[in-house]
Chains A and B, each alone.
Chain A
Amino acid sequence: MNLVKARGIRKTYQAGEVEVQALKDLSFEIEPASFVSFVGPSGSGKTTLLNLVGCLDRPSGGSLSVAGTDVFSLGRADGATFRGRNIGFVFQDFNLIPVLSVFENVEYPLLMASSLGAKERRDRVESLLEMVGMTDQAKKYPNQVSGGQMQRVAIARALVADPKLVLADEPTANLDHDTAYMVIDLMKSMKEMKKTTFIFSTHDPKIVGEAEIIYTLEDGTLVNREDRRPNHG
């Protein structure tokens, strides 16, 4: 069963008096535990697509199922609950909460969207911080760690609720080359360890090469799908 199943997704919005078609009739499927990248130049619709898959935005047409749920039918509150349980996010600007420590930032989704007890939460956060190599920085605040470390914290936060899917919109855009590779490697190893599906967008051709499946977007249209897994090409 596919984790993500999109059929004829369209998204249009108004820019002044002009109607812009950001996504045009997209259909695709993504299997569980895969490492997928959407590539394309700026304005091709990558972020819009990830927002729709992440249940953060509403489409103009089409249908989208994530983990067996028709996400377009979810209301505001149910959408939040669905995201909290099924989807993790990694943002280009890290988007850590400045008043919370590294530990607390990772714990935050569990506080807001789960009913885990304090000990279970602590164990899970400590385990993830260890996986992303941030145990010794747990008490620091976001402004006390580097960009690469912030993104590692963001990855830990995205994975802490054991989501089926992690969406990462340009996760390496604000990082230097070495750190960017480190972050992608981390995401890959997390995918292997936790069997979580990662979908990330990028316009960096070198980073793209790290994905197993690559979808290419141009002007809101899917123009290519490349499966780089052995025996799938």
Chain B
Amino acid sequence: MGNLFKIALRNLLRYKRRTLLTSSLITIGVMAVLLFVAISGAFKNMMISQITDSMIGHLQVHKRGYVASIDNLPLHLNLAPKEVQIIERELDDMAGVEAYSPRIKFGGMFSNFEETTNVRLNGVDPARELASAPLLAKRLLQGKESAVMIKSGEILVPELLARGMKVKLGDTVVIVATNRDGSVNAKTFTVSGVLEGLSGPGGRDGYVHIDDAKEILRIDGIEANEYAIRLKDPGALHEVQAHLTESLAANLNKQNMPKFEIHSWEKLSPFYNIARMIDLMTLFIRIMLISIVLVSVMNVMIMAVFERIKEIGTIAAIGTRPGKILSLFLIEGLSLGILGSLIGSILSLAAILILQANPLTFDFGRQKGLVLSPTVDLNEILIVSLLVIAISTLASLQPAFKASRMEPVTAMRQV
């Protein structure tokens, strides 16, 4: 086999320019894929972390049916104290969970004493909320950074609402809400911060302390209607979700259905579709790479067979079995693939290192100067390289088969 490799490599070196051109095409293709994967992956991961760390968390737990009617913020689907205990016990025991935050989401009226409008609010325990959504502080457009540690009587107002109602930091506002029984209650708050709005569910909600939410809604004891969960490893999302679903599955409602629903950010955020589009684009780029490799290697191998017909006839005549002739040409294609993918991987890694040293920045909404830090993992390099090598070999198969089937006499007659 070693000798076949030696001969195959010499054959490739015989046509230096053609080999260089073909391996360059493969190199460019590999670079295009790896750089696209690195940059789009960095963008995707950054956007996902923006969404999960600013608001949604990686997972959320609700009572069954809550998410389906989340637009109404139904208080009758609040998690009762006993259910809260069950959920918190499971989350405390779960190794993959870094932090979680109970929320009481509710709708109400927002008044600045001159005008009144609707508002959606999250009642949160600020310390637990920040542990679960650490980028909440970054959403503050006005107010001190410490404002995210909401105190009783303070409110973080969503930006559009603040602008529309012309409220500013330190203003007093009134929140009026209807509780589960239909009675109305009100409480005054001081505006301690203005939050940037985000796309997706809950992106334009205000925040108050959970004790204030309970006071307005006249809730006694421990209640919540949403648990936002932050994981230690976002890559273990589905694993933890499955584990949590399984561990909570024993709690059934009157319809004999599981009481709780566990949703991942993928189900809750519309950005997941964009993330899937990025994955789809990566797939198309890979298909383009396959096409480039297939066409270029097949072309060069067809030419190689065509130009070496007499030589093929000679090696067949002097006793080379058809299988070895086939192997010889397959190895030539394989070598082109190895060469192109090796150089392409090295150049891609160098380009990624350069991009890491000189980071790309971009703006997303009001967020300025977001830094992209492209990375590519070893698995991706291996997958792309193996794909290229396999396609190169496959592309050589037809010309190699043709060479191995040549009749020595006919082949040697060729000039």
Binding site for B on A (CB under 8 A): 51, 54, 56-57, 76-77, 80-81, 83-85, 87-89, 91, 95, 97-100, 108-109, 111-113, 157-158, 161
7 contacts between A and B (CB under 8 A): A95-B314, A97-B7, A97-B314, A99-B11, A99-B14, A108-B318, A113-B318
A residues within 8 A CB of B408? 56
Judging by beta carbons under 8 Å apart, are B3 and A111 in contact? yes
Q: What's the Cα separation between A76 and B14 when bound, in Å? A: 29
B residues within 8 A CB of A98? 14, 311
B180 at the interface (CB under 8 A from A): no
Q: What's the Cα separation between A76 and B311 when bound, in Å? A: 17
The 6 closest A-B pairs by CB, nearest first: A84-B319, A113-B319, A99-B10, A95-B314, A112-B320, A80-B321
Instruction: For the A-B complex with A80-B319, A83-B317, A109-B318 known, give 4 more contacts whose Cβ atoms are closer than 8 Å.
Output: A56-B407, A80-B316, A97-B311, A112-B320
A residues within 8 A CB of B412? 91, 95
B residues within 8 A CB of A99? 7, 10-11, 13-14
Given A80-B321, A89-B318, A113-B319, A95 and B409 contact (CB-CB distance below 8 Å): no
Q: How far is the CB of A179 from chain B (nearest CB, A)?
A: 21
In the complex, residue of chain B having the shortest beta-carbon distance to the beta carbon of A114: B319
Q: What's the Cα separation between A160 and B7 when bound, in Å? A: 19
Q: B319's contact among A51, A57, A81, A91, by CB below 8 Å, is which?
A: A81
A residues within 8 A CB of B11? 99
Given A56-B409, A80-B322, A89-B318, A95 and B310 contact (CB-CB distance below 8 Å): yes
A residues within 8 A CB of B7? 97, 99-100
Give chain B's interface residue range (CB within 8 Å of chain A).
20 to 34
Judging by beta carbons under 8 Å apart, are A83 and B409 in contact? no
Judging by beta carbons under 8 Å apart, are A97 and B323 in contact? no
Judging by beta carbons under 8 Å apart, are A80 and B320 in contact? yes
B residues within 8 A CB of A83? 317-319
Q: How far is the CB of B270 from chain A (nearest CB, A)?
A: 59
Q: What's the Cα separation between A54 and B412 when bound, in Å? A: 14
Would you give the 0/1 interface string for B78-101, flagging 1 where the beta carbon is closer than 8 Å to chain A?
Answer: 000000000000000000000000
Would you give the 0/1 interface string for B375-415, flagging 1 where the beta carbon is closer than 8 Å to chain A?
Answer: 00000000000000000000000000000010111001000
A residues within 8 A CB of B285? none
Would you give the 0/1 interface string for B302-329, flagging 1 where the beta carbon is closer than 8 Å to chain A?
Answer: 0000000011001111111111100000
Q: What's the Cα separation between A60 and B316 when bound, in Å? A: 22
Residue from B3, B319, B407 having most chain A Cβ neighbours under 10 A? B319
Q: What's the Cα separation between A157 and B314 when bound, in Å? A: 12
Q: What's the Cα separation between A158 and B318 when bound, in Å? A: 8
Judging by beta carbons under 8 Å apart, are B319 and A56 in contact? no
B residues within 8 A CB of A54? 317
Q: How far is the CB of A97 from chain B (nearest CB, A)?
A: 6
In the complex, residue of chain A having the shortest beta-carbon distance to the beta carbon of B310: A95
B residues within 8 A CB of A81? 319, 321
Q: What's the Cα separation between A81 and B316 when bound, in Å? A: 10
A residues within 8 A CB of B321? 77, 80-81, 84, 112-113
A residues within 8 A CB of B324? 112
Judging by beta carbons under 8 Å apart, are B318 and A84 in contact? yes
Judging by beta carbons under 8 Å apart, are A56 and B317 in contact? yes
Q: What's the Cα separation between A69 and B3 when bound, in Å? A: 30
Judging by beta carbons under 8 Å apart, are A112 and B310 in contact? no
Judging by beta carbons under 8 Å apart, are B314 and A100 in contact? no
Judging by beta carbons under 8 Å apart, are A97 and B315 in contact? yes
Judging by beta carbons under 8 Å apart, are B318 and A57 in contact? no
In the complex, residue of chain B having the shortest beta-carbon distance to the beta carbon of A47: B409
Q: What's the Cα separation between A161 and B320 when bound, in Å? A: 13
Given A51-B409, A56-B409, A100 and B318 contact (CB-CB distance below 8 Å): no
Q: What's the Cα separation between A90 and B193 when bound, in Å? A: 94
Q: How far is the CB of B22 from chain A (nearest CB, A)?
A: 18
Residue from B11, B318, B323 having most chain A Cβ neighbours under 10 A? B318
Q: What's the Cα separation between A109 and B321 when bound, in Å? A: 11
Q: How far is the CB of B348 from chain A (nearest CB, A)?
A: 32
In the complex, residue of chain A having the shortest beta-carbon distance to the beta carbon of B10: A99
A residues within 8 A CB of B315? 97, 108, 112
Q: What's the Cα separation between A157 and B311 when bound, in Å? A: 15
